[in-house]
Structure 1
């Protein structure tokens, strides 16, 4: 007589599911971005994300935990292109850093491939306090701190405030152009926008 197979605890993913690996995790994240984009943060559920990804809800919890943690992972992945500015942009000469940073940031938004997930995330952040807190935390960690550290190394006064003001200028302009779509900003030529915003960003970072 053979021993019976051990029973799987309720709510725990099967071994086959957990061994699915990175492809399954990525599929869950893709489904999460679609759900957050279509429904917003409040109306999106872990069950809905799991159904869209073709997995059990327990597997979503296994990889990410709570809905907030799923959202944070989705945000981080979507925002990575916009917040992960190359070292040559952040650590290059301070002269021209405003233009380099502005051109890079809007370049990500102008790319349809990266703009779609960004829009999904930002729309959720606009309408929900929890989503907004996640968005702020990631912007602070991945963009502002890098810039502030660069300024601090050069003994610039109020480095954190300067970095926050620069980030506010960039994120605010992106919100008005791509999310709220206020005219004429929404349809203005991108080079005109870069030319107008870059000196302001530069001023926040380097003016006395």
Structure 2
């Protein structure tokens, strides 16, 4: 069959090499999206820019993910996937050891460059744009807080779950993004030793 005789595909649809069933194109777009959001911020990032980085047609980005808000949410969920296991980690043993398990798990995510860098990329964008921040909040509430709070004893469980997560996220922001010393270069085991009891208090020791 000649080029002139070959069937033409409709604009914006995946080619045979860009099948929706194949992960390569989707992952390429997500990687490009994280880079675009990290370098340009949410406001200046564009579908066209993401497509250019991924070396695909902009219509293909829409095909997989929809508008920019949904691209960001998909990139965020993909990057944050390890951290979304918080509820499972917390419930993997006795509740009286949940503080240390949770603290150790979160530092494991942040200390590993493979899981840290994609997460940093999208969090930086969420810090500077309300739309991106709202997407981040919605993901944290839906995937973490709403699953953790019902497992906690005592009153104000949702507030205490938020305080436990805030303790770890705040520390991560100062250590890995703002890089405040001596926190940025402190030994991880010392940080776990100091933070785990505080996280445990929020989870299981509500004030009288």
Counterpart for residue 110 of structure 1: 111
CA separation of 1:145 and 1:45: change in aligned 2, threshold 3 A: same
SS in 1 for 2:95: coil
Counterpart for residue 37 of structure 1: 38
Counterpart for residue 143 of structure 2: 142
Give the unaligned 5+ runs of structure 1: none
Give the unaligned 5+ runs of structure 2: 1-5
- 1:50-199 to 2 correspondences below 5 Å: 50-85=51-86, 87-151=88-152, 155-199=153-197
Contact 1:90 1:101 in 2 (8 A): no
SS in 2 for 1:135: helix
Counterpart for residue 13 of structure 1: 13
Contact 2:164 2:202 in 1 (8 A): yes
Q: How many matched pairs?
A: 201
Task: State the 1:76 CA deviation.
Answer: 0.2
Contact 2:87 2:144 in 1 (8 A): no
CA distance in 2, matches of 1:99, 1:29: 32
Task: State the 1:40 CA deviation.
Answer: 1.6
Contact 1:76 1:138 in 2 (8 A): yes
Contact 1:13 1:56 in 2 (8 A): no
